[in-house]
Amino acid sequence: MHRNKELYQFLSDKTWQLTEQWYESLDKSGNDGVYSSTNLEIIEGVKKQNHEFHKRFFRVFLEDECEFFETFEEWILSVAQDREHLKTPIHLILKEFFRTQQQYLDLIREFVSLHPGKYSNDVVDLWTQTIIKLFSEVMTWFTKENFKHSQRQLEAQQEMIRELSAPVISLNQNTALLPLIGDIDTARAKFLLENTLHQCAKKNINHLFIDLSGVVVIDTMVAQQIFQMIEGLNLLGVHSTLSGLRPEIAQTAVQLGLSFDNVSVTSTLEKAINQLFKN
């Protein structure tokens, strides 16, 4: 890598100018993402991030590549997991990387024109190739980290959805309700089994009402999971009451030879709750 303090100083003096030019020409017409925000705090933040990028990148003309990437790590990790950037489509972020790369290439040409004959074509080509090569590596690194944090965010959201889809709602000190709504696939049934046992033990529940009135279809594997959950609850000392059991679901359970010995059955949740408070 060809180091050059004069080039570095020239580029460093342009950092804020580059940032203002970049933001001024930025396409802000989108409806989502960090670049279209009208929030002054977010705008100021993205400008500072852009300016910090310039300051770190231009050090490539003073340092070797190893030092360069050590300098860049903090910026990559910070911006890749920044909430506003995580909400921004990755193709828009990459577009701005490429626009910034072009700004740098234009500045190299400007610098060379200010020093006619001083730098050989080989040196200028080396500078250009260095910028292109390192931009490629920085973009790949950023994309990898951004994807990693996006996946973590998605997994956290999915975990929350799963928990909301199987809520154990306390009715009084030792009694709770598990209302089930919508389709129950094998993955949800497995989570249902684990979460319900855990929540009942945690809340010291001894009677759980399981309402199936919002469930239209249950396949054989899911039916087995539900009855395994009831058996597991029984082992924990939790009595179960099933309500809203549709005929086709009851038929599936009978065909599978599933036992109703450890569970009470009522036609509706209302009847089950009324019976509870009557007692």
Cα separation, 184 vs 166, whole angstroms:
10
Does residue 164 sit within a domain? Answer: no
Instruction: Out of 133, 159, 185, pick the residue that ends a domain.
Output: 159
* Domain end position, chosen among 126, 159, 192: 159
User: pTM of this prediction?
Assistant: 0.65
Separation of CA 53 from chain center: 24
One-letter amino acid of 25: S
What pLDDT does 127 receive? 94
194/118 same-domain check: no
245 and 214 share one domain: yes
CA distance 263 to 244: 13
243 - beta bridge partners?
211, 266
Nearest-5° angle of CA 96, CA 102, CA 106? 145
Residues 192 and 266 in one domain: yes
CA separation (Å) from 148 to 14, 113, 158, 162, 246? Answer: 33, 42, 15, 21, 43
Question: 19 with 153, same domain?
Answer: yes
Q: Please give the pLDDT value at position 136.
A: 95
| 192 Cβ neighbours under 8 A, 6+ residues apart | 166, 180, 184, 225, 226, 229
**pLDDT by position in tens, the chain (length 279):** 556 889 999 999 999 999 999 999 998 887 778 999 999 999 999 999 999 999 999 999 988 888 888 888 999 999 999 989 988 999 999 999 999 999 999 999 999 999 999 999 999 999 999 999 999 999 999 999 999 988 887 777 777 666 665 688 888 888 999 988 877 777 778 888 888 998 899 999 999 998 888 877 777 777 888 888 889 999 999 999 888 877 777 777 788 777 777 788 888 888 877 777 666
58 and 39 co-located in one domain: yes
Residue type, 237: G
- Of 53, 41, 69, 44, give the one whose Cα is nearest residue 15: 53
Domain holding 268: CATH number? 3.30.750.24
Which of 115, 132, 159 represents a domain boundary (last residue)?
A: 159
Q: Are residues 79 and 124 in the same domain?
A: yes
Count Cβ atoms below 10 Å from residue 249 Cβ, excluding itself.
19
Any domain includes 203: yes
Angstrom CA distances, 247 to 105, 210, 212, 228, stand at 72, 16, 11, 20
The set of residues, in sequence order, having a beta carbon less than 8 Å from that of 163 and lying 6+ positions away, is 195
CATH number of the domain that 136 lies in? 1.10.490.10
**Angle CA(127)–CA(132)–CA(137) in degrees, nearest 5?**
125
Pairing assessment for the beta strands 207-214 and 175-181 based on DSSP bridges: parallel
Q: Which of 89, 102, 64 has the alpha carbon at shortest distance from 72?
A: 64
The total of structural domains in the chain comes to 2
Distance in angstroms (rounded) separating the CA atoms of residues 181 and 183: 7
| Residues 74, 52 contacting (CB under 8 angstroms) | no
Range of the domain at 237: 169-278
- For tokens 């709602």, name the residue: 169
